[in-house]
Structure 1
Amino acid sequence: MGSSEPLKLYWSSSKPNVGDWLSPRIVQAHTSREVVHASARRCEFMAIGSILHKAKNLPFSPRLSVWGSGYMHDGPPVKLKHRVHAVRGRLTAARLKNHCDLPCGDPGLLAARVFPHCAAAPVPGRVGVVPHYTDRDEPAVRRFVERVPGALAIDIFDDVEGFLCKLTTCSFVLSSSLHGLILADAFNIPNQWIRLSDRVEGRDFKFYDYYSVFDLAPPQFADLEQVGRAEIERLQRDYRRPGLEAVCDALAAAFPAEYR
């Protein structure tokens, strides 16, 4: 607390998309220090993303702080030497042998608090489709946009504000990107997980991990080719995220005091 040194944050920069760029923006909103990128081996802080596997217990690696990160895959229990303040979900928490009763939730859920200027009045009938970056060229996306009046494809490689300003005009969102779903939840936009291919790394683990914080039954993905207006209306009616505000409050409170 009170340090003038930059906060060295790790986020994925290999194929940066809105989920990756979101991490420094959300962290910056919670700290007085300048946030700068650092490699996983040299960082002092990890936040948004399926990146916890990079927080290894290397002999000479620094002890770092983890706030809301998750694992990409299921796996054996791990004993981390790091300071874990929150993780993305209960499946990630279950893998950590020496950390219990952790606040759970993805810090992307705080986006509506950090970017209130991006909130827009939803356009009635507008359905946003957010493909994961590995799904951007899937023909099913183009066919859906052509088939469903008011459908809008939203590029996961847009900058954060540009992405959010498009997303918040939607009255419903379909996404194969986890952060498309998380950001829709952040702005209370009804949404549905879709699977467009088998290319998304980690398959279902990170989705189940994220949804575990809401005490809902494990979610089922939808087939975009089968989704029409009647199904969208049903999904809108059934949408709920119990305890969302409490999850956000707990996440914000869990941000480590020494970095504020």
Structure 2
Amino acid sequence: MREISATWWRSPEGMKNLGDEITPILLRDYFNVGFFKTSVMKADLLSTGSILSWAYSRPKWPKNRQELYVIGSGFMRPEPISDEKHANLDFLRLISVRGHLTRHMLGKYGEGLSLGDPGLLSSLLYRKRPEKKFTAGVIPHHSNVDNPDFLDLFSEFDNYKIIDFRTDDYTSVFEEMLSCDIIISQSLHGLIISDSFGIPNAWLDNGKLHAGGEFKFHDYFSSIDRPFSKKIETNKKVKISDVDSAIFESEQLKITSIQNDIVGAFNSFFQKV
């Protein structure tokens, strides 16, 4: 198999966000395939993250473009895809998407697609189970890691750890997460990775972080039958009672089934390139 060209989000300044780095991590350390990063205009693969709109928002594409495969990606916001939008994308090959909401947006083009965010493969990458050290791990959105107002929300907590996702060092982050009894996450992939490992977790939804609002969360939740309403919704200091009512524990048989679908989607892609 030739070297794969893949695309994923990274800030213009080069900041890495663990959730968006899942694609290269999986290609390198789980599937053991050669790859390099490129723009969506030249990529073979578009996968983890709310980046499916990258394929549909370009007005022009190079002629005779090679096939672009989609595995586990999703939309950032509701974005129904018309026949007209799809007409110029004869090179697009949809294998799987993140959740039911994205699949619904694709209409007839989403029929029969398997579901699953590739971040759910995290537990297959890291088998160690470190000792529990913290009552809670708090994962801010990458824009809030250094925000004192956000950090102050947890000032009444004892023995908690802030976990910084601005990295691609997944082994260190996974170890930190697994050393916590529960995870409270503002980051979507903080929840996804927790669900992969079976760590009880709570979604902190305390304000609109981007134009898509709750859509990407609900999209992922729909794939694992996670209630949309189970969350901490506050801009005041977080109390233990807030967390207790918002905790979700994933059904590991369901997670394993989705993991098998995701691995199957990647293997299908590898056979085609």
User: Do they fold alike, i.e. is TM over 0.5?
Assistant: yes
Name the residue aligned to 2:38.
Answer: 38
Name the residue aligned to 1:211.
Answer: 221
1:65 aligns with 2:69: yes
Q: 8 Å contact 1:77–1:94 — kept in the other structure?
A: no
The DSSP-based 3-state class of the residue aligned with 1:75 is coil
- Alpha-carbon shift at residue 71 of structure 1 (Å): 0.8
- Alpha-carbon shift at residue 185 of structure 1 (Å): 0.8
Q: Distance in 1 between matches of 2:203 and 2:237?
A: 13
The DSSP-based 3-state class of the residue aligned with 1:55 is helix
Name the residue aligned to 2:268.
Answer: 257
Q: Distance in 1 between matches of 2:177 and 2:16?
A: 18
Name the residue aligned to 1:24.
Answer: 24
- TM-score for both structures, normalised by structure 1: 0.88
- TM-score for both structures, normalised by structure 2: 0.84
Name the residue aligned to 1:230.
Answer: 241
Q: Which moved more, 1:167-176 or 1:96-105?
A: 96-105
Aligned amino acid, residue 36 of structure 1 = F
Aligned amino acid, residue 135 of structure 1 = N
1:175 aligns with 2:185: yes
1:111 aligns with 2:122: yes
Aligned amino acid, residue 173 of structure 1 = I
Q: 8 Å contact 1:190–1:239 — kept in the other structure?
A: yes
Q: Which moved more, 1:250-259 or 1:33-42?
A: 250-259
- Alpha-carbon shift at residue 132 of structure 1 (Å): 0.6
1:7 aligns with 2:4: yes
Q: Distance in 2 between matches of 1:156 and 1:258?
A: 28
Q: 8 Å contact 2:201–2:249 — kept in the other structure?
A: yes
Q: Distance in 2 between matches of 1:211 and 1:94?
A: 14
The DSSP-based 3-state class of the residue aligned with 2:95 is strand
Q: 8 Å contact 1:127–1:172 — kept in the other structure?
A: yes
Q: Distance in 2 between matches of 1:199 and 1:68?
A: 22
Q: 8 Å contact 1:132–1:200 — kept in the other structure?
A: no
- Alpha-carbon shift at residue 203 of structure 1 (Å): 0.8
Q: Distance in 1 between matches of 2:266 and 2:10?
A: 23
Q: Distance in 2 between matches of 1:149 and 1:251?
A: 38
Q: Distance in 1 between matches of 2:93 and 2:265?
A: 12
- Alpha-carbon shift at residue 11 of structure 1 (Å): 0.9
- Alpha-carbon shift at residue 143 of structure 1 (Å): 1.9
- Alpha-carbon shift at residue 200 of structure 1 (Å): 3.0
Q: 1:233 and 1:215, CA in 2 relative to 1: closer, same or farther beyond 3 A? A: closer
Q: Distance in 1 between matches of 2:267 and 2:229?
A: 31
Q: Distance in 2 between matches of 1:211 and 1:110?
A: 16
1:25-83 deviation line (CA, Å, top 9, x unaligned): 11334544312111111110111111111124735243211111111110122435311
Identity of aligned residues (%): 28
Unpaired runs of 5+ residues, structure 2, are none
Name the residue aligned to 2:132.
Answer: 122
The 5-angstrom pairing of residues 136-215 of structure 1 reads 136-158=145-167, 159-215=169-225
Q: Distance in 2 between matches of 1:22 and 1:95?
A: 24
The DSSP-based 3-state class of the residue aligned with 2:180 is coil
Ranges of 4+ aligned residues in structure 1 off by more than 6 Å: none
Unpaired runs of 5+ residues, structure 1, are none
Aligned amino acid, residue 206 of structure 1 = K
The DSSP-based 3-state class of the residue aligned with 2:114 is coil
